[in-house]
Amino acid sequence: MKKRLNARVEIRTSPHIHYAPSVSQIMRNVVYALVPISLFGIYQFGLSALALIVVTTASCLATEHLFMRVSDRASSLHDFSAVITGLLLALTLPPGFPLWMAAVAGFIAIALGKVIFGGLGYNILNPALVGRAFVQAAFPVAITTWTPAFIPGRFSEFVPSTLTLPFLKPISPAEWINANAIDGFTGATPLALQKFEQIQTSTIDLLMGMTSGSAGESSALLIMACGLYLAFRKMLDWRIPVGILLSSALFSALFYLINPDLYPPPLFTLLSGGMMLGAIFMATDMVASPLTPLGVWSYAILIGVLTVTIRFFGGLPEGIMYAILLGNAASPLIASLTQPRAYGKERRSLFNRRQKEES
Amino acid sequence: MAGLIHRAWRNSFPHGIHPPGNKFTNRLPIKRLPFADELIIPLSQHIGAPAEPIVHRGQEVVRGEPIAKASGFVSVPMHSPVTGVIAGIELTPTAKGPKTKSIIVRPHPGAGQKVLYGAPQDYSRLDRNELITAVQDTGIVGLGGAAFPLHVKLATPPGTIIDTVIANGCECEPFLTADHRLMIEHADEIISGIQLVMKLSGAKQAIIGLENNKGDAFHAIKMRLPDKSPISARLLETKYPQGSEKMLITTLTGREVPSGGFPYQVGVIVHNVATLAQLGTLMPLRRGLIERVVTVTGPGVKKPGNYLTPLGTPIRQLLDYVGFSGTANHLILGGPMMGSSVASLDVPVTKAVGGIIVLAEERKIDEHPKNADPCIKCGRCLQACPLKLNPSQLGLLAAKRQYQAMEEEFHLNDCFECGCCSYVCPSSIPLVQYFRIAKAINREQLITA
């Protein structure tokens, strides 16, 4: 008699194989993509930008850790999503933004933007933009005080406003800027120059990031390159930036054709302000955007049109932040209206639910 | 629109996934496996009513002799795979878990491979009903894994017009190569099986669909087909689940089977090439199904290959024969995407088993993290689902136990559990597993209601 083969077998359910990058791998790659943009921001704005990036990221991580401890849940720092929020937040703030305000922004981003809804996967708005919207409302002067790029002394000293003590009004950096740089710098961004003074900034400067602005939004070219990396690794939905950029270009072209003196050319709309950073890295927050094919396009077009509308007709020179937040808020509705047509089913009408109740 | 582009450019259907092929055994010719000490023939190894035994304990049977008869139309007979003696009719374990009634045949020492039962027949004289009965007598079921009785599938309702017969040679599951080898070595039998199905259904054309990782099989079939044959072969994109009935119909004809409907409603009938090869082999000889090709492979197998295995061979003995490394502890009947784990090594090879995969733990090919992360709404599952369902939404509803809403608004019952969504999920959410539970609960509620 042959010896009987014995083995302890494990029972599992199909599929028995699984291949996908994990959540933390995806998030880590987004961080990798943000590193060159952050480095360029530091190169442009020096110590202040570095401190800003460090403070917001640390604030986001600390807030997340604190809330996880308080709610007795396993630490979620390893998923890297709080790092993304911190980096993105810093990149949208003015380089000379007071550090204590940046810490507040980071806290609000994670506390009110993310953990209050249940943490990663449950936030309805992009957390970084929640933080930024909060400080935009709370500190309207500080968030519109800009410093020029490439000041000679940027690596040896901070912009004075950076080191403002908590709960004190920031020192205006104008004097320091004048002492360090070219006289007569107003600190206006290309968008503000265009909107309030009808001065055009050259396309090359916008592409390369030779302008003033938020810490990480100036070089359109670099942001596009980093976005392409993520898109090729399939960790970013390319349809969202393409949809936003196309729709905003077309929509602004309409106004430019009507009145080229008052409205900027479409290319300027695409390259200026936070458009690139917003379209590529902010609007693509997976959790807060729809995931049905039709929904993705509707969401992108909505954001594109809203951005241009706010820029041209609102009181602010920049509109991408509120446009994305509105898009985020609308995405559950968009998702429910754009469920895909399943194989072998009749195409459903847009207001499917209502029909069902009637029948 | 997307479907059109996929069909025209890639010979494929939209969505789906590309798991690593791992077809290690595709160059190994089919080899015959010796008889085991005991063969276990479960009476219920097909969809439908279990067969009724027509033998008793101690009775002598010859290879190919019927040992159980069909107990209705949706049922098939069983045949003895070996010359020997009936050792008993007992409850034995099955792959799914519960024990079912099985006939146990003990081979005579030195029992030969010659089939001693059956007589050649000229089936061209039979009419439709006689043909369908003759097909039922062979005991053939869908060998691709469905195990649905072939004659039932052939007996389409009166009035249906079938214009195309599709032979499914995709074998899209990783690891499996049984159909691949069959198409190379038994193309003639497959073609005569197709001709028989065409005659029965009145179809004017037939298409053999293969994934393009089987170029050698494609050429083997092409060589056997005469010019201007109504049968053609087409190479399709290697993509999972290309070999699912609905996907294959869409790829080859552009038609969509209506939800909850059958392929014949769009004028198509699909059979696996292994089924057709058996049909082409057994019908002219009036024999029964007693063996099939099984791919035995995986990191835990010493002598992987494609084995012509007598039905009823216990997995324990099969693994003994092919060499089994002690560390391997995960056995799968069928492919890794849709196959089931083996609950016991005493489970026999049945009609629907096309492969046995032994995964070794070191490979970690099947490692699922213990805890799933929350859904980050990345949408990968939507882009993987061949039926264009919304697995993300279904998963969220399943977690909230809203099983009714899953069916009413998100077409849960259309899901055929191909596993693409679970495969691509970065959060390792067991989506398909959730859906199985949801379907089972919905079914139960339907019964109790």
* Among the partner residues B366, B382, B414, nearest to A344 by beta-carbon distance: B414
* DSSP 8-state code for residue A49: H
* Among the partner residues A15, A16, A344, nearest to B259 by beta-carbon distance: A344
- Among B285, B315, B345, the domain boundary falls at B285
Query: What mean pLDDT is predicted for residues B423-427?
Result: 93
Other beta carbons less than 10 A from residue A71's beta carbon: 10
B440 and B401 in a common domain:
yes
- Identify how many contiguous H helices and E strands chain A contains and give both numbers: 15, 0
CA distance, residue B71 to nearest chain A CA (Å): 32
- Asked if A28 and B431 touch (Cβ cutoff 8 Å), the reply is no
B389 and B344 in a common domain:
no
Question: In one letter, which amino acid is A233?
Answer: R
Residue B217 belongs to some domain of the structure: yes
Residues in A touching B433 (Cβ below 8 Å): 13
- pLDDT range class, residue B4, cuts 50, 70, 90: confident
B243 and B171 in a common domain:
yes
**What is the C-alpha to C-alpha distance for residues A287 and B252, in angstroms, rounded to an integer?**
37
B276 and B147 in a common domain:
yes
Residues in A touching B432 (Cβ below 8 Å): 13-15
B348 and B296 in a common domain:
yes
For residue A126, the SS3 value is coil
B305 and B273 in a common domain:
no
Residue B426 belongs to some domain of the structure: yes
Residue in A235, A25, A15 with CA at minimum distance from that of residue B431: A15
User: What predicted TM-score, i.e. pTM, was given to this entire model?
Assistant: 0.89
Other beta carbons less than 10 A from residue A73's beta carbon: 12
Residues in B touching A21 (Cβ below 8 Å): 426
* DSSP 8-state code for residue A286: S
Pairwise CB contact (< 8 Å): B345 & A5: yes
CA distance, residue A194 to nearest chain B CA (Å): 37
Could you report the per-residue pLDDT of B259-314, keeping only the tens digit for each?
989 999 999 999 999 999 999 999 999 999 999 999 999 887 889 999 999 999 99
Given CB atoms, is A351 within the 8 Å cutoff of chain B? no
Residue with the larger pLDDT of the pair B371 and B289 = B289
Pairwise CB contact (< 8 Å): B424 & A23: no
B354 and B404 in a common domain:
no
B59 and B168 in a common domain:
no
Pairwise CB contact (< 8 Å): A18 & B258: no
B278 and B197 in a common domain:
yes
Residue B222 belongs to a domain with what CATH number? 3.40.50.11540
Residues in A touching B377 (Cβ below 8 Å): 121, 286-287, 289, 291
**Structure confidence at residue A351 (pLDDT):** 55
Residues in A touching B337 (Cβ below 8 Å): 14-17
B424 and B387 in a common domain:
yes
Its domain, for residue B243, covers 2-27+133-285
Strands B100-107 and B340-341: unpaired
B279 and B304 in a common domain:
no
* Torsion (CA) B433, B438, B440, B446 in degrees, nearest 10: -170
Residues in B touching A287 (Cβ below 8 Å): 376-377
> Helices B215-224 and B187-201 meet at what angle, rounded to 10?
70
Pairwise CB contact (< 8 Å): B427 & A16: no
**What is the C-alpha to C-alpha distance for residues A98 and A52, in angstroms, rounded to an integer?**
8
Pairwise CB contact (< 8 Å): A2 & B320: yes
**What is the C-alpha to C-alpha distance for residues B449 and B445, in angstroms, rounded to an integer?**
6
The b-or-e profile of B371-403 (16+ CB within 10 A means b, else e) is ebbbbbbbbbbbbbbbbbbbbbbbbbbbeeebb
Q: Which two tokens stand for residue B47?
A: 């969809």
Q: What part of A 113-152 touches B (C-beta under 8 Å)?
A: 118-122
Pairwise CB contact (< 8 Å): A121 & B376: yes
pLDDT in 10s for each residue of chain A, 359 residues:
345 556 667 777 888 888 888 898 999 999 999 999 999 999 988 899 999 999 999 999 999 999 999 888 877 788 899 999 999 999 999 998 999 999 999 999 999 999 999 888 899 999 999 999 999 999 988 888 888 888 887 888 888 888 888 877 777 777 777 776 665 555 678 887 777 777 777 777 787 777 788 888 888 899 999 999 999 998 999 999 999 999 999 999 999 999 988 888 999 989 888 899 999 999 999 999 998 889 999 999 999 999 999 999 988 888 899 999 999 999 999 988 988 888 888 766 555 544 444 43
CA B188 and chain centroid, separation: 21
Pairwise CB contact (< 8 Å): A14 & B20: no
- Asked if A205 and A265 touch (Cβ cutoff 8 Å), the reply is no
Residue in A124, A18, A167, A211 with CA at minimum distance from that of residue B423: A18
Q: Which helix (H) or strand (E) holds A256?
A: helix A239-258
B227 by Cβ neighbours in 10 Å (0-12 / 13-18 / 19+) ranks as exposed
* Among the partner residues A22, A79, A342, nearest to B259 by beta-carbon distance: A342
Given CB atoms, is A287 within the 8 Å cutoff of chain B? yes
**Structure confidence at residue A358 (pLDDT):** 40
Residue in B256, B264, B260 with CA at minimum distance from that of residue B3: B256
- Asked if B143 and B272 touch (Cβ cutoff 8 Å), the reply is yes
- Asked if B319 and B345 touch (Cβ cutoff 8 Å), the reply is yes
| For chain A, domain boundaries | 21-145+147-181, 188-338
CA distance, residue A72 to nearest chain B CA (Å): 17
Angle at A156 between CA A151 and CA A161, to 5 degrees: 70
Given CB atoms, is A359 within the 8 Å cutoff of chain B? no
3-state secondary structure chain B: CHHHHHHHHHCCCCCCECCCCCCCCCCCCCEECCCCCCEEEECCCCCCCCCEECCCCCCEECCCCEEEECCCCCCCCEECCCCEEEEEEEEECCCCCCCEEEEEEEECCCCCCCCCCCCCCCHHHCCHHHHHHHHHHHCCECCCCCCCEHHHHHCCCCCCCCCEEEEEECCCCCCCCHHHHHHHHCHHHHHHHHHHHHHHHCCCEEEEEEECCCHHHHHHHHHHCCCCCCEEEEEECCCECCCCHHHHHHHHHCCCCCCCCCHHHHCEEEEEHHHHHHHHHHHHHCCCCCEEEEEEECCCECCCEEEEEECCCEHHHHHHHHCECCCEEEEEECCCCCCEECCCCCCECCCCCCEEEEEEHHHCCCCCCCCCCCCCCCCHHHHHCCCCCCHHHHHHHHHCCCHHHHHHHHCHHHCCCCCHHHHHCCCCCCHHHHHHHHHHHHHHHHHHC
B395 and B434 in a common domain:
yes
**pLDDT at residue B72 above 60?**
yes
Could you report the per-residue pLDDT of B129-152, keeping only the tens digit for each?
999 999 999 999 999 888 899 999
Q: How many domains does chain B have?
A: 3
Question: In one letter, which amino acid is B9?
Answer: W
Interface test with B, best of A331, A338, A343 (most B CBs within 10 A): A343
